[in-house]
A and B are shown apart, each in its own frame.
Chain A
Amino acid sequence: MTSIDMEQEKDTNLWGTIVSGVNALGFSPLGAALVIIAAFLPLVPPFNQEHMVRWLIMGAFLAAQAVAFDFTSGYINVVNFGFAAFLGVGAYTSAILANEMPFLIVQPGISPWIGIWAGALLAGLLGLGLGWLTLRLRGIFAAVMAWFVGIALMGLTRNLTPLTRGSMGLHPPTFLETTDNLPYYYIILVMMVVIYVVLRQVTRSRFGLAFKAIGQNIDAARASGINPTYYRVLNFALSCFFAGWLGGFYAHYYASLTPRSVMHTAKTTEVLAIAYIGGRGSMWGGMVIAFPFVFFIEYLRSNLTELPGLHMVIYGALMILLMIFYPSGLAGLYNSVAGKVKSMLAKE
C-alpha cells in the first residue's frame, strides 16, 4: 500500500469512529450536527441577542420535556397527563430545599445543584407510586389518573402555604450569580442531551425490547415471561424522574414559581403537542421541533399582542391537522423522505 492509501484509510477510520461513537450515544450524524449547531447558535448573530438566547433556552427546555414525555407516550403508549405536575414537584422541592428566607417554615439552604436531584428523586418516586397503582389498567385509566393526580398536586401545592407560599409563589435562588442567559442555555442544553442519551440507551436495552414487545402484542409478551406492569412502571417512573429534574432547572433559572405557572394541565398539553407533532415514539422529533416552534410562538406573541391566544389557536389547529392527516409527525416525514433518498442512492 502506498502512503496515500494508508492516509485515506486512516481518514475513513477516523470518520467511521466518530460516526459509530455518535451512533452509540443515540444520534445519527445529522442529529449530532444539529446538536453542535444548537450549541454554537447563541454565539452568532442574530441569535446572540438576549431575547433570542432566552428563546433558545425555552426551546431547549421544551425539547427536553418532549423527550421525557415521548419516552412514556411513545414507548408504552400511556399519556402522562399530569406531566407538568411532576415537573412542578421537582421545581418546588428544589426551590424549598434551596430556601434560606424566613417566609417558609423551613430554610434548608441547600445548593440548587444538589436540590434538583432531590426534586428529581421525589418526582420519580411519585411516578413510581402512581404507576404502580394505575399502570396495570388500560392506558386511558393511567392517563386520566395521572391527570387527576396532577390536579391534586397543583391544589396541594397551592394550599400548603407555609411550605410553598401558595399562589403568591416562590422566588428561589438561581444556579449562578450572573444575570447573563448564556450559561443557563448550556446547562439546559446539556440536560437535554443527557436525558436524550440516557433514555435512548434504555430503549436500546432489554427494557426497550420489552417496551416494544408490550406495545405490539401484550399477550405474547406475557407469554414470553415479560411482566408488562413492571416495565411500564419503570418507564413511567424514569420519565417522571427527569420531569422533576427539569423542574429543578425551571426553578433556578426562571427563579419564579407559582403552582399554576408550572403545574397546570395546559403546560402538559404544550409538551404533548410538541411530542406528537415531532412524531410519537421517535424521541428526537419533539427535540427538533421544539426550537422552531418556540421561536414561532414567541415571535407571534411579541408581535401580535392585540390578538391574545392566537398562537395557541394555531398550536391547536396544527395538532388537529397533523393528527388527522399526518399522525406520524415530523419523524414520520423524515423517515419516509430519508427512505426515498436512500433507495434513490442505492439505485445508482
Chain B
Amino acid sequence: MQFETSLIHSLRRAVTTRLPATIVLLGTLVLSIVVGAAGGIAQVVNSIVTGGMWALMAVGLALVFGVMNVPQFAHGESFMVGAYVAYFVFNPIHKTLQDNPDAFLAFVAPLLAIIAAGVAGFILGLFLEKVLFYPLRLMSKAGEWVMNAFLLTVGISFILTNGTTLVLGANFRGVPRYWDAEPLTILGAPISVDRIMAFLIATGSIGALWFFLRRTRTGRAIRAVSQDEIGAQMMGINLNFIYPLTFGLATAMAALAGASLLFLFQAYPTVGLNPLYLAWYVVMMAGLGNVAGAIVGGFVVGILQTATQQFAGVVWADVIPTVVMIAVLLVVPSGIFGSEVKGISER
C-alpha cells in the first residue's frame, strides 16, 4: 500500500512524479463539468455519492490485495450480506414505526441497520479468514498462493450467492427510502437525504480507516505487513492477528456500502456482482494494492460511469469502460496511482 508521510505530500508527489495521475484527475474534473453542463448538477452530485461508495468498496479490495495478496472475487458478496442484514434489521423496525410513530426511532433505525450490517460484515470476514484462508495458507506452496486464494474466493462467492438463494429465495427485498425527509438542495440540485447519508457514511468510514491505518499502532502494523511481511514479523507483529483483522475490515466496509445503498440497489442474492465489477475496475485502474489510489479512483469511476451512461449510446455503454481500462493498462500497467503489489510484469 502506498501511504506516504502525509496526504498533502502524497498528492504533491503524485502530481509531480506521475503524469498519468495528473492527466486523469484533470480529465475527471473536465468530465464532471461536462456532465454537469449536459445533465445538470444533480448528475454530478449523484456521481460523487456513488463514487464514494465505489471508493468504500475499492478500499477494502485494495487492502486485502495489498496486505494479504488475495484477489478477492467474493467482495461483492460482502456487499450483498450488508444489504440483507440492513434489510432484516430495518424492515421490522419500519413496520412497528408505522403503527407507533417515533421521530427518534425513525431517525436512528436506518443507522442501526447500517451499523449492524457493518458489524455482521466484520464478523463474516473474521470467520472466512480464520476458517478458510488460514488453512489454505498452511497448505499452499509458495508460488501458488495467489491462484489458490483467488479460487477460494470464487468458491466462497458461489456458496454465498447460491446459499442465499436457497435459504432466502431470489426475490428482491428493498426499502423505498430510509429517512422520511424532504430532499435537500445542494448547489441547486435536489438530493435525497438517503443519498447524503450514504455519502457521509462512505466518507466517514474511509476517513476513520485512514486515521486507523496512519495513526494507530495496529493500523501501522497493517501497513507494515503490506510492505514487508517478514520484516513485520521481525518487529513482533503477529500475522495471525493482522490477517483476520484486515479481512474483516474490508468485508465490513463492503457491507456498509451494501447497507447504505439498500434504498437504491435492494437486497437480492446477486446484487453484489455489479459492485464487485466496479470495485475491481477502480482497483485495476488506480493500481493494485494502492489504498489511497482506490479512494480517489472510486470517485473517478463514479463520474466515468455517469458520463458513459449519459453520452455513450446504449450499445456501447458496456464496452467503453473496458476500452478505457485497456487504454490505461497499456500506458500505465501498474495503474494510474501506482501499485505496490509484488511486481507487475510477469514474474
Mark A residues whose CB is within 8 Å of B. Answer: 77, 79, 133-141, 143-145, 147-149, 151-152, 154-156, 158-160, 218, 228-229, 265, 269, 272-273, 276, 307-310, 312-313, 315-317, 319-320, 323-325, 327
Smallest CB gap from B147: residue in A: A77
Looking at A79, A155, A276, which has the most chain B CB atoms within 10 Å of its CB? Answer: A155
- Min Cβ gap A37→B in Å is 30
Q: How far apart are the CA atoms of A77 and B132 in the complex, in Å?
A: 23
Q: Is residue B150 within 8 Å, beta carbon to beta carbon, of the partner chain?
A: yes
CB atoms of A323 and B136 under 8 A apart: yes
Within 8 A of A (CB), among B136-188: 136, 139-140, 144, 146-148, 150-152, 154-159, 161-163, 165-166, 170
Q: Which of B144, B150, B333 contacts A79 (CB 8 A)?
A: B150
Contact with A along B266-281 (1 / 0, CB 8 A): 0000000100010011
Q: Which of B140, B284, B322 contacts A141 (CB 8 A)?
A: B284
Looking at chain A's contact residues, the main secondary structure is helix
CB atoms of A141 and B333 under 8 A apart: yes
- Min Cβ gap B319→A in Å is 5
CB atoms of B318 and A156 under 8 A apart: yes
Smallest CB gap from B345: residue in A: A137
CB atoms of B71 and A319 under 8 A apart: no
Q: Is residue B235 within 8 Å, beta carbon to beta carbon, of the partner chain?
A: no
B-chain residues with CB within 8 Å of residue A160 when the two chains form the complex: 315
A-chain residues with CB within 8 Å of residue B333 when the two chains form the complex: 137, 141
CB atoms of A152 and B322 under 8 A apart: yes
User: With A148-B322, A152-B319, A160-B315 in contact, do A218 and B158 touch (Cβ < 8 Å)?
Assistant: no
Q: How far apart are the CA atoms of A33 and B322 in the complex, in Å?
A: 46
Q: Is residue B316 within 8 Å, beta carbon to beta carbon, of the partner chain?
A: yes
CB atoms of A309 and B162 under 8 A apart: yes
CB atoms of B162 and A312 under 8 A apart: yes
Q: Which of B152, B170, B326 contacts A145 (CB 8 A)?
A: B326
A-chain residues with CB within 8 Å of residue B148 when the two chains form the complex: 323, 327
Q: How far apart are the CA atoms of A141 and B344 in the complex, in Å?
A: 9
CB atoms of B318 and A324 under 8 A apart: no
CB atoms of A319 and B158 under 8 A apart: yes
CB<8 Å pairs between A and B, sample of 25 = A77-B147, A133-B329, A137-B329, A137-B333, A137-B346, A139-B346, A141-B329, A143-B150, A144-B71, A145-B284, A145-B329, A147-B280, A148-B277, A148-B284, A148-B322, A151-B277, A152-B319, A152-B322, A155-B317, A156-B316, A159-B315, A265-B273, A310-B166, A316-B156, A320-B159
Smallest CB gap from A159: residue in B: B315
User: With A79-B147, A138-B345 in contact, do A323 and B329 touch (Cβ < 8 Å)?
Assistant: no
- Min Cβ gap A136→B in Å is 7
Q: How far apart are the CA atoms of A255 and B136 in the complex, in Å?
A: 42
CB atoms of A324 and B132 under 8 A apart: yes
- Min Cβ gap A113→B in Å is 31
Identify 8 new A-B residue pairs, CB closer than 8 A, beyond the known A140-B71, A327-B139. A140-B150, A144-B280, A148-B280, A309-B163, A310-B166, A313-B163, A316-B155, A320-B156
- Min Cβ gap A141→B in Å is 7
Q: Is residue B7 within 8 Å, beta carbon to beta carbon, of the partner chain?
A: no
- Min Cβ gap B293→A in Å is 16
CB atoms of B329 and A308 under 8 A apart: no
Q: Is residue B314 within 8 Å, beta carbon to beta carbon, of the partner chain?
A: yes
Q: How far apart are the CA atoms of A156 and B71 in the complex, in Å?
A: 26
Q: How far apart are the CA atoms of A249 and B162 in the complex, in Å?
A: 28
Q: Which of B132, B158, B159, B326 contacts A133 (CB 8 A)?
A: B326
CB atoms of B135 and A324 under 8 A apart: yes
